[in-house]
């Protein structure tokens, strides 16, 4: 730490020195935020194991009241489900309808942009900022990044389709229509939109490996675009319990949802498959 500060202090142009100091302060603040999350989680785990606040206080060398303060400070433990810094949400892009490919811009669906807004609000409660990017219609996306969420169906990205083949538990498949299959019990999960015309869908939620083998990313997709909204709705309402179950390990599961066909607002979401833990 001392060397980093000395390096900044030795920057000659004053404005560049100020910029370097601001950048380093931001880095340190990010570390402080994550350490406060780790501290809060550790205190909560100690309390859950049966230790009293007085016992925890004695071992930490602080007052009982201070333990209560520390347990309430910092972001909630489930922040780690997503990441530790600025989150990037990659949204699958399509060419604008009705235009030639060379003239059409890259756009995202109303549902996917709504997903980003919901995720951004959820992440803000975890003291995480978020930005979005549009995956070009070629489907090329850089998966080798930390703090990354991808919302893009395998039909739009061959890279994503390739990564999904590594899931030995759940899979997108197509016969008369696209659907999701639980490979463990050969149960097909089809969209109510395709089967009965009802306002519902099924989505896939997972933490999958990066291509470089140096980490993971959160992946969200629906049979239809609205299915991803159902997954985000589930995260908004069940993140803490999901984090307790999977922490930051690799997993996959399926989420069904019902929505208002006029507003596209998700009314209900629930898990419809086991939470499958992936090895490694």
Question: What single DSSP character describes residue 104?
Answer: P
**135-164 mean pLDDT:** 96
The pLDDT value recorded for residue 99 is 52
Q: What is the mean pLDDT of residues 240-254?
A: 97
pLDDT digits over 260-271, tens only?
999 999 999 999
pLDDT in tens, 166-201: 999 999 999 999 999 999 999 999 999 999 999 999
pLDDT at 35: 94
pLDDT at 1 over 80: no
Q: Is the pLDDT of residue 98 over 80?
A: no
- Measure the CA–CA gap between 48 and 104, rounded to whole angstroms: 55
**Cα separation of 258 and 40, whole Å?**
35
Per-residue pLDDT, 172: 98
Give the C-alpha separation, 140 to 90, whole Å: 11
CB 137 within 8 Å of CB 97? no
Percent of the chain residues past pLDDT 70, beyond the cut: 95
CA–chain centroid gap for 226, Å, is 17
Instruction: Please report the pLDDT score of residue 184 as a whole number.
Output: 94
> Quick one: average pLDDT of 245-255?
97
- pLDDT confidence bin for 91, thresholds 50/70/90: very high
Per residue in 100-134, pLDDT tens? Answer: 555 555 678 888 899 999 999 999 999 999 999 99
The DSSP result for the chain, as a single string, is -HHHHHHHHT-SSHHHHHHHHHHHHHHHHHHHHHHHHHHHHHHHHHHHTT--HHHHHHHHTS-HHHHHHHHHSSS-GGGGGT-SS-EEEEEE-EEPTTS-TTTPPEE--HHHHHHHHHHHHHHHHTT--EEEEEEPTT-------SSEEEE--TTT-HHHHHHHTT-SSEEEEESSSEEEEETTTTEEE--HHHHT--SEEEEEEEEEE-TTSS-EEEEEEESSHHHHHHHHHHHHHHHHHHHHHHTTS-EEEEEEEEE-TTT--EEEEEE-S--EEPP-
pLDDT of residue 105: 57
Which pLDDT tens digit goes with each residue over 7-50? 999 999 999 999 999 999 998 998 999 999 999 999 999 999 99
| pLDDT surpassing 70 at residue 96 | no
CA distance 261 to 154: 24
Distance of CA 87 to the CA centre of its chain: 8
Angle between helices 53-60 and 14-48 (to 10 degrees): 130
Q: What is the pLDDT of residue 164?
A: 97
Compute the mean pLDDT over every residue in the chain, rounded to the nearest whole number.
Answer: 93
């Amino acid at each position: 730490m001392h060397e980093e500060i000395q390096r900044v202090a030795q920057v000659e142009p004053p404005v560049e020195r100020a910029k370097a100091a601001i950048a380093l302060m931001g880095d340190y603040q990010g570390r402080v935020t994550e350490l406060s999350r780790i501290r809060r989680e550790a205190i909560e785990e100690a309390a859950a194991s049966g230790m009293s606040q007085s016992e925890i206080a004695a071992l930490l060398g602080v007052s009982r009241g201070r333990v209560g303060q520390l347990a309430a400070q910092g972001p909630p433990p489930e922040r780690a489900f997503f990441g530790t810094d600025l989150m990037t949400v990659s949204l699958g892009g399509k060419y604008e309808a009705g235009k030639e490919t060379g003239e059409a811009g890259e756009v995202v669906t109303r549902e996917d942009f709504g997903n980003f807004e919901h995720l951004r609000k959820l992440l803000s409660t975890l003291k995480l900022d978020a930005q979005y990017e549009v995956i070009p219609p070629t489907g090329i996306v850089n998966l080798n990044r930390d703090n990354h969420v991808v919302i893009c169906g395998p039909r739009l990205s061959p890279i994503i389709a390739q990564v999904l083949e590594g899931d030995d538990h759940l899979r997108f498949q197509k016969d008369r229509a696209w659907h999701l299959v639980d490979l463990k019990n050969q149960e097909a999960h089809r969209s109510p939109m395709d089967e009965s015309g009802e306002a519902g869908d099924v989505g896939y939620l997972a933490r999958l490996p990066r291509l470089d083998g140096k980490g993971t990313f959160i992946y969200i997709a629906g049979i239809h675009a609205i299915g991803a909204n159902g997954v985000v709705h589930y995260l908004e309402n069940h993140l803490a319990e999901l984090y307790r179950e999977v922490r930051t390990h690799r997993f996959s599961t399926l989420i069904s949802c019902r929505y208002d066909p006029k507003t596209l607002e998700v009314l209900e979401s629930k898990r419809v498959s086991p939470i499958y833990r992936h090895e490694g």
